[in-house]
Amino acid sequence: MFQEDLLNIVKPANKKIIEIGCGKGENAFSLSAMSKEYIGIDISKDVIDLANANIPVNLKDKLKFKIGDASCLDFDSNYFDTAVLIHSFHEMPLQIQYPVIQEVRRVLKNEGTIIVIDPVEPPVLFQECFNFINREFKFFNHSLSVIHSNWIIEECLRKNLLKLDRKATIKVDYSFNNFNELIQFLIDDYYGELTFTDEMINILKNGISEILNIKDINEDIKLCDENFVWILKNNK
């Protein structure tokens, strides 16, 4: 079931794909069959040795496994169509999650796709949303109350807000169940000197739906077999 979902989400046909934190390669064996080229990297030599030992003969031309660290990828820029992270992102320490996404973006083509499948909501996406808000609403200058139940997200927001040099009060008693709640949170919880006009709300919705590559604003964040699936379009 999971492999079938994975094929539907990743849509590997004729794509050059990098899988980051590929483990022993089980997902790569099914995803690479239709791909143009598939490279799995993992920081652990043990799992890469196992993956390499088990490559089916018919995939040997296009499937390769290499030892590598997600925060420092040994590949040319603008090379891959798709980057997939399956159950690996949450294992990376918080301080490298944002650099990892930046590094993944570097090796991806413009308009390439980043797919993160994880049992944990990746906090980096909230950072993306806040970066977007910062870009669009530069005149923002007020204190912000951010509420979330996930300490990782709290930590991420705290760092991000410090970077933005804003005063922040962070309370912890909220969690998002779907995309609409996230949008509503971003609108409701910004208060102070700024009132969101309809135009600003539209910019916010369009921008964030683009970051998350969610076409229909009413669509919930997709859940697949108890995983969060986040799909980002690379925008260089």
Q: Which residues bind ligand SAM (CB under 6 A)?
A: 20-23, 26-27, 41-44, 47, 69-71, 86-88, 91-92
- Work out how close the CB of 31 gets to ligand SAM at its nearest, in angstroms, rounded to a whole number: 11
- Work out how close the CB of 197 gets to ligand SAM at its nearest, in angstroms, rounded to a whole number: 42
- C-alpha–C-alpha distance, residues 32 and 9, integer Å: 14
Output 26 or 189, the one with its CB closest to ligand SAM: 26
Output 88 or 127, the one with its CB closest to ligand SAM: 88
Output 20 or 232, the one with its CB closest to ligand SAM: 20
- Work out how close the CB of 79 gets to ligand SAM at its nearest, in angstroms, rounded to a whole number: 17
- Work out how close the CB of 189 gets to ligand SAM at its nearest, in angstroms, rounded to a whole number: 32
Nearest to 137 by CA among 201, 214, 215, 185: 201
Output 15 or 148, the one with its CB closest to ligand SAM: 15
User: Residue 206's CB: how many other CB atoms inside 10 A?
Assistant: 11
Residue 117 has phi, psi (to 5 degrees) of -115, 120
